[in-house]
Amino acid sequence: MTAQYLHRQAESGVLVSVGDLVEDIVVWPGREVQRGTDNEAAVYRSRGGSAANVASFAADLVPSRFIGCVGEDAAGQMLVNELSERGVDVRVQRRGRSGTIVVIVDADGERTMFPDRAAAGQLFEVSEMWLVSAGCLHVPAYGFATEPTAGSVRRLIDSARRRSVPVSVDASSTGMIADYGVERFRQLLDAVQPQLLFANMDEAALLDLASDRFSATTTVVKDGAGPTVVRPVFGDELRIPVPPLVGVRDSTGAGDAFAAGFLSAWLGRSDLAECARFGHALARSVLLTPGARSAGTVG
């Protein structure tokens, strides 16, 4: 499946992602970290934020829009400019200072993250006009973490429902879900009733996504190098193998790339197995590069 194919087939409108646009500071320690002293490391700075990553990756494939809040500072302007240069229709509010996430990557490419969301958590009332031509509204769970962004995101979801725009949610983080409250987050999903719900194995286990409680939602559960499990509302469970990959450098943004690929194919009317395969292909290119960036356009 090519990017041109997806552009032709994305008849259902723009992929709209709402949430964080922040600066990632990615740290690769040169050895096991020694406490209380200097540690040699490679440090890489890039644009980040789950929603912004999805919007950026998707922009090569389908019409893509980002909604969020960044700081009234040079960093915020840089983040907006870079996302715009990727071909994303950027709709932001500006206030305060821009958010930052410090990401420490271990020898296996796994990440430990220290987020300071700052302005990303300060999204106020969003114009319903920012949903014009939307084919899907994608919401990483980070968007529900703090007010006023959480309330603004909920109201935007309500606006999407009134417009018959499908909603996709990414569970994002076991830590975020635990802080929010597991049952409270399940109740949030009950209220939102997303058409699609992305999670990794740990998030799926924490939320008990295999239960009948989520039978009205198509769940997409990733397991690293293991098969991705898709449970559609109608039909049998699908298990889509992940092609082997050697040379993983950094998993930052891989889940966002998967969501972007999956949703782009979904907007292109592909079947769920093909959506997952396209998600795998886009995530694969990110796993070979530092930070939430692709090694090249999937084509």
pLDDT at 3: 47
Cβ neighbours, 10 Å, residue 195: 16
What is the domain extent for residue 181? 3-21+48-100+117-287
Note whether residue 43 is domain-resident.
no
Structure tokens at 22: 């922040």
Asked, for residue 55, whether it belongs to a domain, the answer is yes
Q: Is 75 among the domain residues?
A: yes
Q: Is residue 265 part of a domain?
A: yes
Residue 270 covered by a domain: yes
Helix, strand, coil abundance in the chain, percent, nearest 5: 35, 25, 35
Structural domain count of the chain: 1
d(C-alpha 150, C-alpha 185), whole Å: 12
Classify residue 35: in a domain, yes or no.
no
Position 290 scores a pLDDT of: 56
Other CB atoms within 10 Å distance of the CB of residue 216: 11
**Rounded (10°) angle between helices 272-287 and 254-267:** 150
d(CA 289, CA 225) in angstroms, rounded, equals: 17
Residue 28: the pLDDT is 87
Say which CATH number the domain at 246 has: 3.40.1190.20
Residue 96 forms part of a structural domain = yes
Q: For residues 228 and 174, what is the distance between their CA atoms, to the nearest angstrom? A: 18
Determine the pLDDT at residue 8: 40
pLDDT under 50: residue ranges of the chain: 1-10, 292, 295-299
- Supply 276's token pair: 């997952």
Q: How far apart are CA 54 and CA 283, in angstroms?
A: 11
Helices and strands (H and E) in the chain: how many: 9, 13
Please indicate, yes or no, if residue 294 is contained in any of the structural domains.
no
